[in-house]
Amino acid sequence: MKGEEERERIPIKERPEWADVRPVPQDDGPNPVVPIDYTDDFTETMDYFRAVYLADERSPRALHLTKEAILLNSGNYTVWQFRRLILDALNADLHEELQFLDQITRENAKNYQIWYHRRWLAEKLGEHVASKEHEFSREIFCKDAKNYHAWSHRQWVLQALGGWEGELSYCSELIKDDIFNNSAWNQRYFVVSKSPLLGGLEVMRDSEVAYAIEAILTKPENESPWRYLRGLHKNDGKSLANDPRVASVCLDVLTGKTDYIHALNMILDLLCHRHQPSKELKDAVDAVSPDPNLSDVGLAEKVCSILKLVDPMRSNYWEWRKSTVPAQD
Q: How many CB atoms lie within 10 A of CB 53?
A: 20
DSSP codes of every residue in 244-281:
HHHHHHHHHHHHHTSS-HHHHHHHHHHHHTT----HHH
CA distance 130 to 193: 20
Neighbour count for residue 292 (Cβ, 10 Å): 7
238 annotated active-site:
no
Which amino acid would we find at residue 178? D
Angle between the 315-324 and 299-310 helix axes, to the nearest 10 degrees?
170
How far apart are the C-alpha atoms of 208 and 240, rounded to whole Å? Answer: 13
Of 13, 110, 176, 257, the active-site residue reads 110
Q: What letter represents residue 299's amino acid?
A: L
Cα-Cα-Cα-Cα torsion 281, 284, 286, 290, nearest 10 degrees, comes to -140
**Residues taking part in catalysis:** 110
